[in-house]
Structure 1
Amino acid sequence: MTMNERVAPLLYIFAGLFGFAGVALAAAAAHGGGDAHLVSSASAMCLAHAPALLALAIGIDKLRTAWVAGVLLAIGTLLFAGDLTMARYAGSGLFPMAAPTGGFAMMFGWLAVAVGAFIRKRA
């Protein structure tokens, strides 16, 4: 089983979960009051990265760096959105620097997408 075959199903799963969480968090932000900006930011990251993960899963055989980009985006979104959501509902985040770590992982995930444009697939 290739790396693409192992990672693609995970990207589909996280795309679906992030889409679900993004909509739920948007509703919580709209109706929750308090620190709604935390939940709103978490929602935005989930809703931005769900379709990106879906696209990477669909195109995993066309973009050489798709699996790396997808893993970085998924982990980054989990850390960033998870930290903000925990801060809102539990009173403290996941761990110190979780959101910035997630943010950097997402940025490097997007960079991996861009780098993939310059790396040709083998025939």
Structure 2
Amino acid sequence: MTQTSALRLAVVLAGLMGAAGVALAATAAHQPDATRLGSASSMLLFHASAVAGAALLTGYGIARRAPGLTATFGFVAGAALFAGDLVLRQYAGHGLFPMAAPTGGTLLILSWLVLALAAVWPRPAT
């Protein structure tokens, strides 16, 4: 997969994450006892923006390619695990798997750190 197609995929996923985040926020506002959905919405909305930003930083060469893409897709996977676990708990009464939300949260934290490293990692001399 080329860098351009990977970044394009990331932006598509960011758009889907954003749409899902807004839908969950609306549902949380109108459904009783939906605090889990509010948290899931926030994670998706915040990290949809992070995915778009990390994709841009990587595409413009501000963040190194490999760690930039790792952080970008780490945001997608982490937010999906975190939000998916909360939504499943809300509607099905059980999570994705034990420790899914904390695993997703940890992946998000690591992705932020990888993005920071991707920006400060020296680029090879040309």
* TM-score between the two structures when normalised by the length of structure 2: 0.89
Q: Which runs of 4+ in 1 moved over 4 A?
A: none
- The Cα shift of 1:7 comes to 2.2
What is the match of residue 48 of structure 1?
A: 46
Aligned counterparts of 1:33 and 1:121: Cα–Cα separation in 2: 51
What is the match of residue 111 of structure 1?
A: 113
Aligned counterparts of 2:58 and 2:37: Cα–Cα separation in 1: 31
Q: Could you tell me which runs of 5 or more consecutive residues in structure 2 were left unpaired when the two chains were aligned.
A: none
What is the match of residue 37 of structure 2?
A: 39
> Contact 1:57/1:66 (CA < 8 Å) preserved in 2?
yes
What is the match of residue 90 of structure 1?
A: 92
Which letter maps to 1:46? L
- The Cα shift of 1:6 comes to 4.2
> Contact 1:66/1:116 (CA < 8 Å) preserved in 2?
yes
> Contact 1:19/1:47 (CA < 8 Å) preserved in 2?
yes
Which has the larger displacement, 105-114 or 5-14? Answer: 5-14
Which letter maps to 1:14? L
1:79 equivalent among 78, 81, 86: 81
Aligned counterparts of 2:107 and 2:52: Cα–Cα separation in 1: 18
What percentage of aligned pairs have identical amino acids?
45
Which has the larger displacement, 109-118 or 80-89? Answer: 109-118
* TM-score between the two structures when normalised by the length of structure 1: 0.91
> Contact 1:76/1:103 (CA < 8 Å) preserved in 2?
yes
SS in 1 for 2:58: coil
Instruction: Tell me the number of residue pairs that the alignment of Structure 1 and Structure 2 aligns.
Output: 121
Which letter maps to 1:95? F
Q: Could you tell me which runs of 5 or more consecutive residues in structure 1 were left unpaired when the two chains were aligned.
A: none
Aligned counterparts of 1:68 and 1:6: Cα–Cα separation in 2: 14
SS in 2 for 1:50: helix
